[in-house]
Amino acid sequence: RDRGGSSHLNTSPPRSLADALLAPTGKMAAMITVSTAVSVHGARRAVAAGIAEAEKSGFKVTVAVCDAGGHLIALERMDGAMPASTEIAAGKARSAVMFARETRLLEAGVNGDKSGGTERAALLSSGYVLMEGGIPIVDGKERIIGAVGVSGVKPKEDAAVAAAAAAALLPPLPPASKL
């Protein structure tokens, strides 16, 4: 509460440990800023776009979306998708955020060139999923605000579904000039 001072920040002592840990005061409160992030609504829209893309090709996949901290926001496993694909898709999304790049680049760095999509030696490494199919979501200011991960089909197919899901969150392009 403001006790009549010029500051809008709460300067009264915390009433509980939770208040002390969760309620920033003083200079710390002034430093907190709100950042652009993937909302739950946006994550659901991306998942729906990924599922629609997979259905067009007859794929059975899991699509996962995480925030900029790598925390899962939305996930859907299609009927018929392998159960393990839930953990793999979520791991691909998290890895894409944490390494700030598409997971295909991480997989290529571990496995080298692939000969047809059957190699999966980089399934797990130190808790990260270094397999193609994770794509960062980048806002209009070139900041990573989350990522999409897809699992269930071949690497390039996973990546194509992930790209369709991520594209659902991109702002529309401005109309072309009529010159």
Tens digits of residue pLDDT in 74-130:
999 999 999 999 999 999 999 999 999 999 988 877 766 655 555 555 545 567 888
Average pLDDT, the chain: 80
Q: What is the mean pLDDT of residues 20-33?
A: 48
Cα(7)–Cα(172) distance, rounded to whole angstroms?
41
Q: What percent of the chain has pLDDT over 90?
A: 54
Quick one: pLDDT at residue 2? Answer: 40
Quick one: pLDDT at residue 118? Answer: 52
State pTM to two decimals.
0.73
More confident residue, 65 or 125: 65
Give yes or no for residue 166 having a pLDDT over 70: yes
Quick one: pLDDT at residue 128? Answer: 86
More confident residue, 90 or 30: 90
Of 34-38, 53-57, 133-137, the one with minimum mean pLDDT is: 34-38
Q: What is the mean pLDDT of residues 67-74?
A: 95
